[in-house]
Structure formats: C-alpha cells, structure tokens
C-alpha cells in the first residue's frame, strides 16, 4: 500500500510539472520571472521561519519547479546542450548524495536532528508521519528537461514519458535500496533517447 501511494504521488507530481511547463508557453517570460520570484520568496520565508505544512510546501515546490524549469529550459535549444546539462546535473547530484549536502541533510533527518528535509521535498502524510518523497532539485531538473525537449522540437505525446520514466525507475531503485540519486538516471534515460533519435535521423 505504501509503495503504491508513493508511486502514485510521484507520478502525479511529475505529470503536473509536465502539464504546467507546457501551459506556460503562452505566457510572457517577464510574467513567469515575476511569479517565480514571488514563489521563491514565499518558499524561503517558509523555510526560514520553519513553517511545516506539507500541502503549502508541496504547492510551492511544484510551482517553483514548473516556473524555473520553464525559464531555464527555455534557453536550452540544442541536443548537445541538453546532453551537457543532463551530465552536469547527474554529476552534481551524485556528489551531493554520496557525501555532499544532500547526504548530510538526509543523515540529520534520519537521526531526528533536522526536519528541513520535509520542506525540501514533495511529502505526504502516512501513518501519522510526514514522509519526504521527491527532492525539489530532482523536480526542478525534470522541469528543465521537459521544457528543453519541447523547445528543441520533440513535441510527440510520448516524449515527456522518457524523463518521467527515468524518475520512476530511480524511485523504484530508491525504494529497494533505501535511497538513490535520481538525476543520473533521469539524465541517462534522456541522453539515451536523444542519441537514439539523433542516430535514426542521420541514418
């Protein structure tokens, strides 16, 4: 039951980001930047004052991921630049998860010393506890990749399923091994797709 709940929550969140990023195409960038600045300000105030509300936190994380993902992803317009971005994001996530900031935050949370992880993740209530599921960094990068794919010209309905599938694969591995760095998997799946498409075009 818990696994199904987690999978459902993460899948719904990912598709919300996808639909949000696509919807922003008709909105001027200036308005997107203003909305992003407001969302980030509220989010920072929430963390600073240690306001722990999973509903508000989830809404802000999704909004920031959509707005920032669109704004940054809009500047990535070639396959090569998207591949470089995926590699860079994967390396940063790997380093952070294996011994950097992410590792320290998770360790402190597991010991009950610091609950900031709840404010940095999409979280859900389960059996009286708030369970962190998906980090804002993972969702933010997913938004960038989704927008970049569309910007480059991959507009088929199934294309967004590629990085989302990578996210769900990472989630499965994380559930099996009690945590995993998601971005190398999301980026890796996206790169494989791009290379296959690029090869098929050349042949």
pTM for the full predicted model? 0.91
Per-residue pLDDT at 155: 85
- Give residue-wise pLDDT tens across range 147-180: 999 999 898 889 999 999 999 999 988 888 776 7
Per-residue pLDDT at 152: 94
Q: Which domain holds residue 138?
A: 2-202
Per-residue pLDDT at 104: 74
- 49 pLDDT more than 90: no
| Cα–Cα nearest to 57, from 127, 1, 139 | 139
Q: Is residue 83 very low, low, confident or very high in pLDDT (cuts 50, 70, 90)? A: very high
**Number of domains into which the chain is organized:** 1
- 16 pLDDT more than 80: yes
Task: Report how far apart the first and last C-alpha atoms of the chain are (Å, whole number).
Answer: 46
């Amino acid at each position: 039951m818990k696994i199904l709940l987690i999978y459902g929550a993460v899948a719904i969140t990912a598709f919300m980001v996808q639909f949000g990023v696509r919807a922003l195409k008709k909105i001027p960038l200036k308005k997107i930047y203003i909305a992003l600045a407001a969302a980030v300000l509220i989010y920072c105030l929430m963390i600073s004052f240690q306001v722990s509300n999973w509903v508000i936190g989830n809404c802000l994380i999704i909004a920031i991921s959509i707005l920032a993902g669109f704004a940054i992803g809009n500047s990535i317009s070639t396959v090569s630049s998207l591949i470089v971005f995926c590699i860079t994001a994967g390396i940063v996530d790997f380093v952070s998860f294996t011994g950097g900031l992410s590792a320290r935050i998770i360790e402190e949370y597991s010991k009950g010393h610091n609950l900031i992880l709840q404010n940095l993740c999409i979280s859900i209530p389960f059996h009286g506890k708030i369970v962190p599921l998906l980090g804002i960094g993972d969702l933010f990068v997913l938004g960038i990749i989704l927008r970049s794919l569309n910007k480059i010209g991959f507009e088929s309905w199934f294309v967004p399923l590629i990085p989302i599938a990578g996210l769900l694969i990472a989630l499965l591995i994380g559930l099996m091994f009690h945590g995993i760095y998601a971005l190398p998997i999301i980026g890796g799946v996206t790169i494989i797709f791009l290379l296959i498409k690029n090869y098929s075009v050349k042949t």
